[in-house]
Chain A
Amino acid sequence: MIGILALQGNFSSHIQILNKLGYDSKLVKSSKDLDNIDGLIIPGGESTTMTKLIAREDRFVKSIKSFSKKHPILGTCAGLILMSKNSFDDKVINFGIIDIESERNAYGRQVHSFDTRLDLDYNSKNTSFMASFIRAPKISKVGKNVQVICNHDGIPVAVKEGMHFATTFHPELQNEALIHQLCFGDG
């Protein structure tokens, strides 16, 4: 059973991917919803809105952090920002689950959003897939234990640290299950 943080954002496309992979899914709206799930997705949406809604419950952040000690978390776009160590913005909370620094809306406004083909370079799996970058962030710094698994124009766009994965793009908008499979499957 994989949970999807469902405070705001595009949870339904992630549910479709999980269905495709044969996983049950559950919407997570409070810390008690983290019980009995084996992994968590932090979806795309507005990181400022999610920050506001996470803060409603005192122990939510703490619960997510302790969940991350035992279970894999996948963050896409806004999810990557929240999982970062720092995104240098007071309006946004950072869990520090992956040792990266990120910058919000780094490609500019919506007219600069794009789809592109990316090459995955991970565990000798060389494959390519389509990804959507929607008002996407950029990863500005990568810690020493972080593995970069995809680049675009020489900039890291997908990373892995321990069992956690984060992408600046949306595989789920392309109905692409690859990253979900890496994170929640057996690799």
Chain B
Amino acid sequence: MNKNTFKVKVGLAEMLRGGVIMDVTNVEQAKIAEEAGAVSVMALERIPADIRADGGVSRMSNPQMIKDIQAAVSIPVMAKCRIGHFAEAQVLEALEIDFIDESEVLTPADEHAHVYKHPFKAPFVCGARNLGEALRRIDEGAALIRTKGEAGSGNIVEAVRHMKMITSELSNLKEQNLSEKAKEFRVSLELVEEVAENGKLPVPNFAAGGIATPADTSLMMQLGAESVFVGSGIFKSDDPKERAYAIVEAVTHFDNAKEILNASYKLKDAMKGLEISEIPEDQLLQKRGD
């Protein structure tokens, strides 16, 4: 019997396909998310939009709050650690968290290195803006990749940019000099060869960062995302319960515009979004970690 192999870690990521992972900050929101059909919840003290507004250092959430959420729902529970903060990751693993998000939404703890994820029992998800970044995280042991997008912005433009970038780099990879690419990406040649051969990442690829509506969801799924993370988009809207369910429906029926239309009818106002150019350069979350 093999526990905690890379295959077992990726296995859970595969089961989350075609689903919505929702940010929740308390037991009540976690229950709303599960009731609406979320495949998983991300337990965190403040959603990205509030982290952005509040400023200061943002750390791993209070373990008691995460534990309360674990007790309240039966779906997998994820939580975030700071980039490079392997001790926070160890604490989350001790808590038996189902997935650790080494996230740019929190203040990075290490400006040079991410957590080396292979020795952990718990699987990790990491953000990426391009193929090199995605492969570096996979080389370090990430079992799931998501676009970084621009968390807490309510603006889909960055997630679109990152998804299209990864997709186009994947489709061109085969024609490139792979050993040069491995050097450029700073990953093993074996990994680059495997990805070039298959034309896809060896782990699922989800969308995150700026998704606020059923149509945003459909857009990201049509661009190749296999699931979506929705952070601020649900509990910063005027109708979290209805919006959560509408986004779940939108993932399943992403290629059916009538279904997206039906899912959109009943909704009130989405969260207020941010124009990316109005976010000061040093406050862009996607620039954290490379």
Interfacial residues, chain A to chain B (CB-CB below 8 A): 6-13, 29, 44-46, 48-49, 52-53, 56, 77-78, 89, 91, 104-105, 108-116, 132, 134-135, 170, 173
- B7: A residues at CB distance < 8 A: 115, 132, 173
When chains A and B are docked, how far (Å) is the Cα of A173 from the Cα of B13? 11
Q: Is the pair A8, B12 in contact by a Cβ cutoff of 8 Å?
A: no
Q: Is the pair B12, A113 in contact by a Cβ cutoff of 8 Å?
A: yes
- A56: B residues at CB distance < 8 A: 249
When chains A and B are docked, how far (Å) is the Cα of A8 from the Cα of B34? 14
Does B75 interact with chain A (Cβ within 8 Å)? yes
Q: Is the pair B252, A8 in contact by a Cβ cutoff of 8 Å?
A: yes
Interface of A is mostly: loop
- With both beta carbons as reference points, the residue of chain A lying nearest to B11 in the complex is identified as A134
Q: Is the pair A48, B34 in contact by a Cβ cutoff of 8 Å?
A: yes
When chains A and B are docked, how far (Å) is the Cα of A49 from the Cα of B99? 18
Give which listed residue, A6, A91, A112, A115, contacts B34 with CB less than 8 A: A91
When chains A and B are docked, how far (Å) is the Cα of A170 from the Cα of B93? 24
- Chain B: minimal CB distance from A157 (Å): 13
- With both beta carbons as reference points, the residue of chain A lying nearest to B10 in the complex is identified as A173
Interface residues of B in 91-120 (CB under 8 A from A): 93, 96-99
Which 5 A-B residue pairs are closest in the complex by CB-CB distance?
A52-B37, A110-B98, A134-B11, A116-B1, A10-B14
Give which listed residue, B1, B36, B93, contacts A52 with CB less than 8 A: B36
Does B57 interact with chain A (Cβ within 8 Å)? no
- With both beta carbons as reference points, the residue of chain B lying nearest to A105 in the complex is identified as B74
Give which listed residue, B5, B76, B97, B122, contacts A135 with CB less than 8 A: B76
Does B17 interact with chain A (Cβ within 8 Å)? yes
Give which listed residue, A53, A78, A114, A134, contacts B248 with CB less than 8 A: A53
Q: Is the pair B15, A7 in contact by a Cβ cutoff of 8 Å?
A: no
Interface residues of B in 155-185 (CB under 8 A from A): none
Question: Can you list 14 A-B pairs, Cβ within 8 angstroms, ordered by A?
Answer: A10-B17, A49-B37, A52-B37, A56-B249, A104-B74, A108-B96, A109-B97, A110-B76, A112-B3, A115-B5, A132-B7, A135-B15, A135-B98, A173-B11
Q: Is the pair A9, B18 in contact by a Cβ cutoff of 8 Å?
A: yes
Other 12 A-B pairs with CB < 8 A, given A9-B15, A11-B18, A89-B74: A11-B17, A49-B19, A52-B37, A52-B248, A53-B248, A109-B98, A110-B122, A111-B93, A111-B122, A112-B3, A135-B12, A173-B7
**Known contacts A10-B15, A46-B19; A132 and B8 CB within 8 A of each other:** yes
When chains A and B are docked, how far (Å) is the Cα of A130 from the Cα of B210? 40
Give which listed residue, B3, B16, B17, B252, contacts A29 with CB less than 8 A: B252
Does B212 interact with chain A (Cβ within 8 Å)? no
Give which listed residue, B15, B38, B245, contacts A134 with CB less than 8 A: B15
When chains A and B are docked, how far (Å) is the Cα of A52 from the Cα of B99? 23
- Chain B: minimal CB distance from A138 (Å): 14
Give which listed residue, B19, B36, B74, B123, contacts A8 with CB less than 8 A: B19
Does B253 interact with chain A (Cβ within 8 Å)? yes
- B9: A residues at CB distance < 8 A: 110
- A7: B residues at CB distance < 8 A: 18, 252
**Known contacts A110-B98, A111-B122, A113-B8; A46 and B252 CB within 8 A of each other:** no
Give which listed residue, B8, B96, B248, contacts A115 with CB less than 8 A: B8
Q: Is the pair A115, B2 in contact by a Cβ cutoff of 8 Å?
A: yes
Interface residues of B in 117-149 (CB under 8 A from A): 121-123
Does B188 interact with chain A (Cβ within 8 Å)? no
- A89: B residues at CB distance < 8 A: 74
- B2: A residues at CB distance < 8 A: 114-116
When chains A and B are docked, how far (Å) is the Cα of A44 from the Cα of B10? 13
Does B39 interact with chain A (Cβ within 8 Å)? yes
Q: Is the pair B253, A29 in contact by a Cβ cutoff of 8 Å?
A: yes
Q: Which of B5, B16, B74, B76 has the most CB of A within 10 A?
A: B74
Q: Is the pair A111, B121 in contact by a Cβ cutoff of 8 Å?
A: yes
Does B4 interact with chain A (Cβ within 8 Å)? yes
